[in-house]
Structure 1
Amino acid sequence: MSTETQSEKSASIRAISRSVAVLQAINRSSSLTLTHISEAVGLPYPTTTRIVRTLVEVGLIEQEPSRKRYRPTALVQTLSCGFQNHDRLVSTARAHIVELTRLIDWPVSVVTRVGKHMMVRDSTSTITSLTFNNYYPGWQVPLLSSASGRVYFAHASAQERAELLKQYATDSQGLDSLIIKEFRDGDAVAKIVEAGYAAVARTAYSANPGRTSSIAVPLFENGVLLGSLALVFFAQAASMSKAIERLLEPLRRTALAIQADLERNLPQPEPQDE
């Protein structure tokens, strides 16, 4: 039996990640030309053409009848079968995060884990001027580099943490090895759990590197970790210690209010057939 070489494995991963990026770009824009797809994903035109042809062959996208544009087909819906969308979390949290933003002015986001990233499910960035850019649903930040990801990781089960660290062992995404070691050894986890929050000053991964800082607390329902509640503020507006002093308690109260509402409005079980 032949074994897959490291170069073959890397090539396979690269091909899959490129194909996913192309599909996501088309899906976000409803339809795109080959040139626009190539620009959106940063791939050479010939590579993009091959990927698009493959996606057409498997039925996930199609060319529009009268234009040289490609659009997703109904088959893409099969990719989300079995996915829990956290719609109930978003609808329950919305009024609370709007109220919090009106109180503190800074944008607040509901964030859940997707692989090794945290994804924004809802945000109040559009209702405040105190933001550099809008954190629309689907916006992703790295897990161990972000406040929302760190607080999620620290409060996740030991099994989930072990699985995530296993993924980092094969693909660190350029993450500082010292950060990975700190979370693997458990020191960072213990500190975050004891404090009940995570904070990152002058985040390097944002659309405005170094200009914003963030604080995040976990979101639970009946002891089950759902995601994080995160707020972002201008780094020059306040030191981290001052921001924590002013903003942490309102953020915590909001997370607890969301949790209470979720637990008061539990979905009713489906009636059983006789």
Structure 2
Amino acid sequence: MPRVKAAASGSSTKATPYMVPAVDRSVRILRLLQRRQQATVTEVAQALTIGSSACYAILKTLQHHNIVAFDERAKTYRLGLSLLELGGAVSRDFAFVEKARTHLVEFARKTRLTTFVVARVSHEHLMVVDKEEPGGDVRISIAVGTRFRITEGMSGRCFMAFLSAEESESLLKSVGVSPVPGLPPPTQKAYREQLNTARAVGHATITDSPVSAANGVAAPIFDSEGRILFVITAMGLSSALTAKAIEDTGASLRAAADAITKVLRSQRG
């Protein structure tokens, strides 16, 4: 069977059998963004000797699929979160895991709660990108790669609460309120009140979930511009995380989220 030998540097333009030029350019662009972290269209085109129009079209196609993300302010592209969906191994290379996972692990081990991080992977969806679970036969469990609507659950409510008011309202109208299994869906008015409460206290909570008889807390993680980037969520059976302990756990989780925010901001700087 014919094989395609990959170039070691990722920048070779030498053709091999069955190579598709557009795919080759796309891979080279992704490898460049991996090395540089972010770059403009012009920088990418010049570095890889690709025509500006073709380079722009490829980047916009990759952006459409959330393979790359575009920074409106800096006019630069970077690798996108949808790469996480292509394999669990990718998550271990993601900036959060590399730079801030210590705080996730420390919190989970200290509290003995299942702790996970969600990120936005499309306009209307969030996905679990990392987790730490306590030992034991009975515990809350969630898989990395689990995807759900942005208005769904406690993690979604936390993310929605810390978006801009305009974007949050737009999503609420377009996506709607996602019901919790076993409970009637809240009205949009009630959902907005839940978002206001989360903003006021700095985290979202859930008690006595009908799905798992669990309690939980979710807190936001921000980027250097103050925009929500991740949500860190801690959940446990009601016997492990009592309703009375929710407030203290929320304060501890916010402290962990703030520490992660600080790490990410220092790395950006």
For the aligned pair, the TM-score class normalised by the smaller chain equals 0.5 to 0.7
Matches within 5 A, 1:173-252: 176-183=184-191, 186-204=192-210, 209-222=211-224, 223-245=226-248, 247-252=249-254
Please tell me whether the aligned partners of residues 178 and 185 of structure 2 are also in contact (alpha carbons under 8 angstroms).
Answer: no
Please tell me whether the aligned partners of residues 123 and 137 of structure 1 are also in contact (alpha carbons under 8 angstroms).
Answer: yes
String of CA shifts for 1:101-148, please: whole Å, max 9, x gaps.
1211112111113444431110002x5337535322111345444221
- The verdict on how the C-alpha distance between 1:130 and 1:110 changes in structure 2, with shifts beyond 3 A counting, is farther
Amino acid aligned to 1:168: V
CA deviation after TM superposition for structure 1 residue 210, in Å: 3.2
Please tell me whether the aligned partners of residues 212 and 232 of structure 1 are also in contact (alpha carbons under 8 angstroms).
Answer: yes
Please tell me whether the aligned partners of residues 215 and 242 of structure 2 are also in contact (alpha carbons under 8 angstroms).
Answer: no
For 1:233 and 1:124, locate their aligned partners in 2 and report how far apart those are by CA, in whole Å: 12
Please tell me whether the aligned partners of residues 106 and 131 of structure 1 are also in contact (alpha carbons under 8 angstroms).
Answer: no
Equivalence for 1:149: 156
Tell whether 2:126 aligns with 1:123. Answer: no
CA deviation after TM superposition for structure 1 residue 242, in Å: 2.0
CA deviation after TM superposition for structure 1 residue 159, in Å: 2.5
Structure 2, unaligned runs of 5 or more: 1-60, 70-79, 85-93
Q: 2:67 aligns with which of 78, 81, 84?
A: 81
Q: 1:138 aligns with which of 117, 120, 145?
A: 145
For 1:244 and 1:173, locate their aligned partners in 2 and report how far apart those are by CA, in whole Å: 25
Please tell me whether the aligned partners of residues 118 and 128 of structure 2 are also in contact (alpha carbons under 8 angstroms).
Answer: yes
SS at match of 1:178: coil
SS at match of 1:265: helix
For 1:234 and 1:142, locate their aligned partners in 2 and report how far apart those are by CA, in whole Å: 23
For 2:185 and 2:66, locate their aligned partners in 1 and report how far apart those are by CA, in whole Å: 33
For 1:258 and 1:211, locate their aligned partners in 2 and report how far apart those are by CA, in whole Å: 29
For 2:189 and 2:126, locate their aligned partners in 1 and report how far apart those are by CA, in whole Å: 20
Larger % of helix: which? 1
Amino acid aligned to 1:98: V
Amino acid aligned to 2:109: R
Identity %: 23
Amino acid aligned to 1:199: T
TM-score scaled by structure 2?
A: 0.59
Structure 1, unaligned runs of 5 or more: 1-76, 268-274
For 2:216 and 2:187, locate their aligned partners in 1 and report how far apart those are by CA, in whole Å: 17
Count of residues in Structure 1 that have an aligned counterpart in Structure 2: 181
Please tell me whether the aligned partners of residues 107 and 131 of structure 1 are also in contact (alpha carbons under 8 angstroms).
Answer: no
- The verdict on how the C-alpha distance between 1:173 and 1:265 changes in structure 2, with shifts beyond 3 A counting, is closer
Equivalence for 1:167: 174
- The verdict on how the C-alpha distance between 1:141 and 1:97 changes in structure 2, with shifts beyond 3 A counting, is same
CA deviation after TM superposition for structure 1 residue 241, in Å: 2.6
CA deviation after TM superposition for structure 1 residue 82, in Å: 2.4
CA deviation after TM superposition for structure 1 residue 152, in Å: 1.1
